[in-house]
Amino acid sequence: MDAAAVALVPAAGRGERLGGRHPKALVQVHGVPLVVHAVRGLLNAGCVRRVVVAAPSSYVDTMRAALADGGAKALVVPGGADRTESVRLALAAALGESPDISIVLVHDAARAFTPPELVCAVTAAVAAGAPAVVPVLPVADTVKRVDANEIVTATVDRADLRAVQTPQGFALDVLRRAYEADGDTTGSHTDDAGLVERIGVPVSTVPGHPAALKITTPFDLAVAEAVFGR
């Protein structure tokens, strides 16, 4: 098995919770768009040989230019209406380009400051034989279930709960079967491992990292500006 991975980067979201005028992946931290930070991080990790980015369909050229400006080499393709569709399209483009892929990572552009060690830990776990791998963190807050009126109905034991990050890593065949089984009409999923669980393939975990946070809100963006160097 080729121990270097091909990474799919869904970057086609609008970033509604961030509230900007431009897609979130083009929002800048220290003058560099998030998607450029994300692709650079993957390529510099040393265990990724190719990156395919799914861009908002009306921003494909803009994203190509931003990546070229930032010296971040990637194939850019139009994404879809939801994250699942964007990953599906990026996977098809990756396979069209190089059918000999053995390990696929799926990594949110919004997790632009993921440490290279985490990228390679996920890749190595797949190379060592795990069919599907996700980085996880313990849940720090107390977790409660609420009803439609936001009234608490239960306190959930957090000991066996994990918050899940990306990159998520897969043996190619597993990710392909998961997406084929999903068809193209069953709606969006918030992660790719969820589709793999549905075809009965075990998903293993590696320790995640706080720096792999998903930049979702203006607060997260402020944290990224403050924490991550130029």
The site for Mg ion (CB under 5 A) is made up of 13
Cα 168 to its chain centre, rounded Å, is 7
For 53, the enclosing helix (H) or strand (E) is: strand 48-55
Phi, psi (degrees; rounded to nearest 5) at 54: -100, 115
Q: Site residues for ligand CTP, window 183-222 (CB under 6 A)?
A: 214, 216
Helix 60-69 with 34-45: angle, nearest 10 deg: 50
- What 209-213 contacts at long range (C-beta under 8 Å, 24+ apart), as own/partner pairs, is 209/114, 209/115, 209/117, 209/118, 209/135, 209/137, 209/165, 210/137, 211/113, 211/114, 211/115, 212/111, 212/113, 212/114, 212/115, 212/118, 212/135, 212/165, 212/166, 213/111, 213/113, 213/165
Using the rule CB under 6 A, which residue among 59, 86, 114, 201 binds ligand CTP?
Answer: 86
- Give the nearest residue (CB) to ligand CTP: 13
Rounded to a whole number, what is the distance in angstroms from the first to the last CA of the chain?
36
Nearest distance from C-beta of residue 120 to ligand CTP, angstroms: 20
Residues contacting ligand CTP: total by CB under 6 A: 23
User: Which of 98, 188 has the CB closer to Mg ion?
Assistant: 188
Centre a 10 Å sphere on the Cβ of residue 64 and count the other Cβ atoms it contains: 15
> Of 70-78, 106-114, 194-202, 203-211, which part binds ligand CTP (CB under 6 A)?
106-114
> Of 7-15, 91-99, 145-153, 175-183, which part binds ligand CTP (CB under 6 A)?
7-15
Nearest distance from C-beta of residue 13 to Mg ion, angstroms: 5
**Is the Cβ–Cβ distance between 202 and 87 less than 8 Å?**
no
Q: Site residues for ligand CTP, window 32-61 (CB under 6 A)?
A: 54
**Is the Cβ–Cβ distance between 133 and 168 less than 8 Å?**
yes
Q: Site residues for ligand CTP, window 15-34 (CB under 6 A)?
A: 15-18, 24-25
Told to check if 14 binds ligand CTP by CB under 6 A, we report yes
Using the rule CB under 6 A, which residue among 13, 33, 169, 208 binds ligand CTP?
Answer: 13
24 binds, among ligand CTP, Mg ion, none (CB under 5 to 8 A by kind): ligand CTP
Q: What is the DSSP letter of 106?
A: E
Nearest distance from C-beta of residue 200 to ligand CTP, angstroms: 25
User: Which of 13, 56 has the CB closer to Mg ion?
Assistant: 13
Of 69, 83, 13, 75, the residue nearest 42 (C-alpha): 75
Q: Site residues for ligand CTP, window 64-83 (CB under 6 A)?
A: 79-83
Applying CB under 6 A, which residues contact ligand CTP? 10-18, 24-25, 54, 79-83, 86, 108-110, 214, 216
